[in-house]
């Protein structure tokens, strides 16, 4: 594309620059008059701290008696009773 023949329009540049300057002036005026603190107070919500209890640890895995293939649940059943079954 050949843009060399396109003429520049200085009116558009000055209009855009003027809008940016006016926007910044209005923004500065609003911040100086307390708009920033009002917006921050509106957005902020009171925070609540909640303490949650940790869940109890899981039970230990079942133990297997060596060589017998018998599983003892949590060590509650003595090995001699487990051998009978």
Structural domain span for residue 81: 53-85
Over residues 9-52, the pLDDT tens digits come to: 777 788 889 999 999 999 998 888 888 788 777 777 777 888 88
Burial of residue 77 (CB within 10 Å: 0-12, 13-18, 19+) is middle
Domain match, 37 and 13 both: yes
pLDDT value of residue 73 = 56
Q: Does the pTM of the predicted model rise above 0.75? A: no
Q: SS3 string of the chain?
A: CCCCCCCCCHHHHHHHHHHHHHHHHHHHHHHHCCHHHHHHHHHCCCCCCCCCCCCCCCCCCCEECCCCCCEECCCCCCHHHHHHC
Domains contained in the chain, number: 2
DSSP symbol at 75: T
Domain match, 62 and 31 both: no
Q: Domain for residue 79, yes or no? A: yes
């Amino acid at each position: 594309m050949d843009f060399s023949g396109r003429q520049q329009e200085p009116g558009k540049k000055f209009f855009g620059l003027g809008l940016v300057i006016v926007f910044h002036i209005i923004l500065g005026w609003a911040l100086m008059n307390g708009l920033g603190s009002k917006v921050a107070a509106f957005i902020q919500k009171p925070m609540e701290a909640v303490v949650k209890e940790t869940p109890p640890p899981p039970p230990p895995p079942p133990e297997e008696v060596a060589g017998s293939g018998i599983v003892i649940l949590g060590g509650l059943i003595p090995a001699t009773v487990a051998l009978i079954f």
